[in-house]
């Protein structure tokens, strides 16, 4: 059987009509947006399926939370599935810890385009197009020693030309009481199963792991539910042109956007400099137009009169009030702020780094020269960038005379497989070497904001 190209939307952790957490105090206008956030995110996923004319929608766990007992969630899900049924798009649902198989079985009125896949017991399921098998959906649940022989057989076939439908494997969704498992866990799963695409569920953040011709991908949560979900959130458009050409594209659906923004305040810094820096950070956030509520955690490190004055609650209130008045947000967009002041002496050596979800989380032990404004500005750009490789490919598409050529398609595929962390690490290294050597003689005194 000849291979057929396909495209589908992969979403996880939709949690329709579930309560968004860690937002802090807010007024009634913002509260109503928070209440409807997950439902709006699900509607946007359905719209993305229709606009991109996908073959199917794959939901890998926690589409709703059974403990909410939400009739609104069930109705919204059925309406969304019905919309997809009307345009001929199938839906494959993998139950998760929050939405178990029993809960789905009790949901009445699901349209015929919906298939439930129990990754604990079901055999591989065929995904059809015009009477032909387009792809297969299979569980990847056996990690015991008994599967070692199958793993060796599967590894020997990787890299060879294969025929037949595209194979999608599903890691059974599971709950996590602590931090998300390490990316190496995904690589282990990928190495033990003969699949082309491995669907990674929650609690993993957004990530992509490649192993020879195989790709494992997790879209992360569809909505920013807690303070841990930083950066843009949504679903992924998976485009498969060939077995060796699998690209992943983030489609932002979450109307809630959380960011942790770190700024260093110099001793002689002024109020206007601080305001300019804060506005610059907000304006530089990618995909900002999708967000209706920005939850911003500001971490200001430094010393001096300006830093000390911000300990006054009235000064803090004035700072955020002016920021919202002069910001570039559109009508209907709102901000929620929190402020953390850190004395310069308490600042741990380090610089922001990226986790597999491509968001700033913590500092790693490496020195950064905050007295060099060119280097600091460059590093801030790296911190706020979420898709360097994607931007480069889009720029090439816009300027290339033959944007449909095979080399650009191959480059786009490779761009979807690289990780932001690897690019950011190399950019930091080269940036530090370049700016330290190029600007050391021209910079004498500067208080960074």
Helix and strand numbers (H, E) in the chain are: 13, 17
Task: Return the H-helix or E-strand segment holding 8.
Answer: strand 6-11
Whether 226 and 279 share a structural domain: no
Give the pLDDT of residue 368.
Answer: 41
- Which residue is listed with tokens 């291979």? 3
pLDDT digits (tens, 9 = 90+) for 115-133: 999 877 778 899 998 888 9
Whether 244 and 281 share a structural domain: no
pLDDT for 185 beyond 90: no
Which one-letter DSSP state was computed for residue 231? Answer: B
Final residue of a structural domain among 252, 281, 314: 252
Give the pLDDT of residue 33.
Answer: 93
Final residue of a structural domain among 224, 252, 280: 252
pLDDT digits (tens, 9 = 90+) for 228-268: 899 999 999 999 987 678 999 999 999 999 999 999 888 88
Give the pLDDT of residue 396.
Answer: 72
What is the rounded CA–CA span in Å between residue 33 and residue 255? 8
Lowest average pLDDT, out of 186-200, 207-221, 423-437, goes to 423-437
- Across 174-286, the runs of DSSP E, i.e. the strands, are 197-199, 207-211, 214-218, 234-242, 245-252, 256-265
pLDDT, mean of residues 410-424: 65
Give the pLDDT of residue 380.
Answer: 65
What is the rounded CA–CA span in Å between residue 352 and residue 325? 29
Whether 200 and 288 share a structural domain: no
Nearest by Cα to 198 from 207, 206, 189, 7 = 189
pLDDT, mean of residues 41-48: 98
pLDDT for 433 beyond 60: yes
Structure tokens at 3: 């291979």
β 234-242/245-252 pair status = antiparallel
- Across 288-348, the runs of DSSP E, i.e. the strands, are 293-302, 334-343
Whether 227 and 337 share a structural domain: no
Whether 65 and 184 share a structural domain: yes
Q: Say how many domains are in the chain.
A: 2
Task: Return the H-helix or E-strand segment holding 9.
Answer: strand 6-11
Instruction: Please name the residues in contact with 291: beta carbons below 8 A apart, sequence gap of 6 or more.
Output: 254, 255, 256, 257, 333
Where does the pLDDT of residue 154 fall: very low under 50, low under 70, confident under 90, or very high at 90 and above? very low
In a domain, 25, yes or no: yes
pLDDT for 394 beyond 90: no
431 phi/psi in degrees, rounded to 5: -65, -40
pLDDT for 286 beyond 90: no
Q: Maximum distance among all alpha carbons in the chain?
A: 72
pLDDT, mean of residues 297-322: 92
pLDDT for 225 beyond 50: yes
What is the rounded CA–CA span in Å between residue 308 and residue 298? 15
pLDDT for 196 beyond 70: yes
Domain that holds residue 376: 256-386+421-439
In a domain, 393, yes or no: no
Mean pLDDT, the chain, whole residue set:
80
């Amino acid at each position: 059987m000849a291979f057929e190209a396909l495209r589908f939307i992969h979403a996880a952790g939709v949690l329709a009509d579930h309560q968004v957490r860690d937002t802090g105090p807010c007024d009634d206008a913002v509260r109503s947006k928070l209440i409807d956030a997950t439902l709006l995110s699900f509607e946007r996923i359905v719209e993305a399926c229709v606009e991109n004319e996908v073959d199917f929608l794959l939901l890998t766990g926690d589409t709703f939370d059974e403990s909410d007992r939400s009739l609104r969630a069930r109705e919204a899900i059925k309406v969304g599935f019905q919309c997809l049924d009307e345009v001929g798009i199938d839906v494959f649902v993998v139950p998760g810890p929050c939405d178990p198989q029993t809960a789905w079985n009790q949901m009445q009125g699901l349209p015929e385009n919906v298939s439930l896949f129990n990754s604990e017991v079901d055999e591989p399921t065929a995904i059809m197009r015009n009477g032909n098998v387009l792809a297969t959906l299979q569980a990847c649940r056996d990690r015991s020693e008994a599967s070692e022989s199958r793993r060796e057989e599967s590894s020997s076939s990787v890299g060879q030309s294969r025929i037949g439908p595209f194979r999608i494997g599903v890691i059974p969704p599971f709950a996590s009481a602590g931090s998300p498992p390490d990316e190496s866990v995904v690589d282990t799963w990928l190495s033990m199963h003969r699949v082309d695409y491995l669907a990674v569920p929650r609690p993993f953040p957004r990530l992509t792991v490649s192993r020879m011709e195989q790709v494992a991908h997790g879209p992360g949560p569809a909505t920013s539910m807690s303070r841990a979900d930083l950066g843009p959130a949504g679903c992924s458009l998976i485009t498969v042109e060939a077995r060796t050409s699998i690209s992943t594209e983030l489609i932002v659906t979450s109307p809630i956007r959380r960011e942790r923004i770190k700024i260093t305040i110099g001793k002689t810094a002024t109020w206007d400099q601080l305001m300019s820096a804060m506005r610059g950070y907000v304006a530089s956030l990618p995909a900002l137009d999708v967000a209706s509520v920005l939850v911003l955690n500001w971490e200001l490190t430094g010393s001096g009169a300006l830093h000390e004055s911000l300990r006054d609650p009235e000064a803090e209130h004035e700072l955020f009030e002016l920021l919202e008045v002069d910001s570039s947000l559109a009508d209907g967009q709102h901000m929620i702020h929190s402020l953390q002041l850190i004395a310069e002496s308490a600042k741990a050596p380090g610089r922001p780094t990226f986790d597999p979800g491509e968001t700033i989380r913590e500092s790693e032990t490496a020195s950064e020269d905050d007295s060099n404004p060119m280097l600091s500005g460059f590093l801030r750009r790296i911190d706020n960038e979420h898709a360097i490789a994607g931007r480069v490919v889009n720029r090439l598409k816009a300027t290339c005379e033959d944007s449909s050529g095979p080399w650009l398609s191959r480059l786009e595929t490779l761009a979807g497989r690289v990780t932001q962390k690897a690019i950011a690490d190399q950019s930091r290294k080269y940036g530090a070497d370049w700016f330290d050597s190029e600007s050391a003689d021209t910079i004498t005194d500067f208080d960074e904001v």
